[in-house]
């Protein structure tokens, strides 16, 4: 590997670099739940008063340092801020920043999600069971064989081109779902008739909870996704469901509503699962419209009950209108599913190339 050389990580990039942000200032805040495993994009933020936590700016990489978030691959690249804007987030983030003339910010992100980096970080975790954290100082001293800056940029360009296409398809899917939701709002909310019968939503589905998965059943290269209240939380080689269903968070994160379209998955015990659904998309958008977070009855942590969800009241229009909406939504979601398959193929290609490029097994022409 000509020109690749061994370097201490602290010589290659900055860990938790000094980033000024005064206490009491309102700034963008990123919580751990806004990081999706092995996904470059941060999934949102909130405006909050800064009182402490990790501080970062565009071009930084956020790495979860606590179990099980590190093992699950919670790492993201910061790209949503204005120039020189500073945001903050969980104290459980390690912030990685490129050194000028030495390292490339995008390469650092891909290096941080590589097995080589992650396995090293996981081996340096210590603490009580269930609350283990990476020893950042020990991680800084670790030595890796790394490419020169021009090759870093070339590697990052290859991998970023795949992630850019993934991001584009993801945005298209959001636009398509927003379109279907606009039809739902027009047909069933704005144009609702006082002649329609009011019924409990629970008449249209069977509801149950997901099931807990033991830690040893999680595996990085598992065949099936493990889904929780906020989306994917890992992989496993076992599955609970293989059918078209809807699920939402039962405890912890509330309000998100997801579709699983005949994919074998494991749904964790912090979810509620809707099956045997009559008028699938009418139920889906009714659950989204209901804002399930408003049904929280938890005292120590957010919680919703099956019985409360089943009693949500909806007005049932005539069968012709329902069938028309189901046909329309089916056509829109067929395109969403097609895009999702492309996303999965691109992700698989990226995940195949990444370790080979990061290790130098495959070289990029410059």
Tokens of 250: 């039962």
Instruction: For 156-180, write each residue's pLDDT tens digit.
Output: 999 999 999 999 999 999 999 999 9
In this structure, what DSSP letter does residue 99 have? Answer: P
In this structure, are 211 and 124 located in the same domain? no
Q: Which domain does 259 fall in, by range?
A: 165-342
Instruction: For 251-282, write each residue's pLDDT tens digit.
Output: 988 889 999 988 999 999 999 999 999 999 99
User: The domain spanning residue 192 has which CATH number?
Assistant: 3.90.220.20
Tokens of 207: 């509801």
Note if the pTM is more than 0.95: no
Q: Do 246 and 257 meet the contact criterion of CB atoms below 8 Å apart?
A: yes
Q: Is residue 301 part of a domain?
A: yes
Q: Do 64 and 93 meet the contact criterion of CB atoms below 8 Å apart?
A: yes
Q: Which residue has the tokens 């990685």?
A: 96
In this structure, are 12 and 108 located in the same domain? yes
With H, G, I as helix, E, B as strand and everything else as coil, classify residue 206.
strand
Q: Do 184 and 317 meet the contact criterion of CB atoms below 8 Å apart?
A: no
Query: Cα dist. 294→223, 244, 272 in Å?
Result: 35, 26, 16
Q: Do 147 and 104 meet the contact criterion of CB atoms below 8 Å apart?
A: no
In this structure, are 175 and 30 located in the same domain? no
Number of domains in the chain: 2
What integer best gives the mean pLDDT of the chain? 93
In this structure, are 196 and 258 located in the same domain? yes
Q: Report the sign of the C-alpha dihedral through residues 179, 180, 184, 186, in that order.
A: positive
Q: Is residue 363 part of a domain?
A: no
In this structure, are 178 and 127 located in the same domain? no
Predicted pLDDT at 1: 54
pLDDT one digit per residue (tens) for the chain, 366 residues = 568 999 999 999 999 999 999 999 999 999 998 998 888 999 899 999 999 999 999 999 999 999 888 888 899 999 999 999 999 999 999 999 999 999 999 999 999 999 999 999 999 998 876 688 999 999 999 999 999 999 999 999 999 999 999 999 999 999 999 999 999 999 999 999 999 999 999 999 999 999 998 888 888 778 899 999 888 888 899 999 999 999 999 998 888 999 998 899 999 999 999 999 999 999 999 999 999 999 999 888 899 999 999 999 999 999 999 999 999 999 999 999 999 999 989 999 999 999 999 999 988 877
């Amino acid at each position: 590997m000509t020109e690749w050389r061994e370097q201490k990580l602290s010589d290659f990039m900055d860990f938790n670099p000094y980033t000024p942000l005064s206490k009491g200032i309102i700034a963008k805040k990123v919580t751990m739940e806004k990081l999706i495993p092995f996904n470059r994009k941060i999934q949102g933020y909130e405006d909050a008063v800064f009182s402490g936590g990790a501080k970062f700016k565009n071009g930084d990489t956020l790495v979860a340092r606590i179990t099980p978030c590190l093992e699950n691959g919670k790492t993201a690249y910061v790209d949503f801020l204005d120039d020189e804007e500073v945001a903050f987030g969980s104290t459980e983030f390690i912030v990685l920043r490129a050194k000028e003339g030495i390292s490339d910010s995008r390469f650092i992100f891909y290096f941080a999600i590589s097995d080589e980096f992650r396995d090293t970080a996981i081996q340096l975790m210590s603490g009580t069971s269930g609350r283990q954290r990476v020893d950042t100082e020990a991680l800084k001293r670790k030595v890796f064989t790394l490419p020169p800056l021009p090759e870093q940029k070339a590697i990052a360009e290859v991998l970023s081109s795949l992630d850019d296409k993934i991001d584009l398809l993801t945005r298209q899917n959001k636009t398509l779902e927003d379109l279907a939701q606009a039809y739902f709002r027009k047909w069933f909310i704005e144009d609702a008739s006082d002649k329609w019968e009011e019924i409990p939503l629970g008449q249209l589905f069977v509801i149950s909870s997901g099931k807990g998965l033991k830690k040893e059943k999680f595996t990085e290269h598992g065949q099936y996704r493990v889904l929780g209240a906020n989306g994917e939380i890992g992989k496993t080689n076992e599955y609970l469901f293989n059918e078209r269903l809807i699920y939402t968070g039962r405890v912890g994160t509330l309000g998100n509503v997801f579709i699983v379209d005949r994919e074998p998955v494991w749904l964790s015990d912090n979810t509620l699962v809707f099956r045997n659904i009559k008028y699938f998309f009418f139920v889906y958008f009714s659950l989204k419209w209901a804002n399930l977070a408003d049904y929280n009855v938890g005292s120590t942590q957010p919680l919703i009950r099956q019985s409360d969800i089943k009693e949500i009241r909806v007005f049932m229009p005539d069968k012709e209108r329902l069938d028309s909406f189901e046909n329309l939504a089916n056509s829109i979601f067929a395109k969403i599913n097609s895009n999702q398959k492309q996303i999965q193929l691109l992700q698989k290609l990226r995940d195949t190339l990444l370790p080979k490029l990061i290790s130098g097994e495959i070289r990029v022409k410059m």
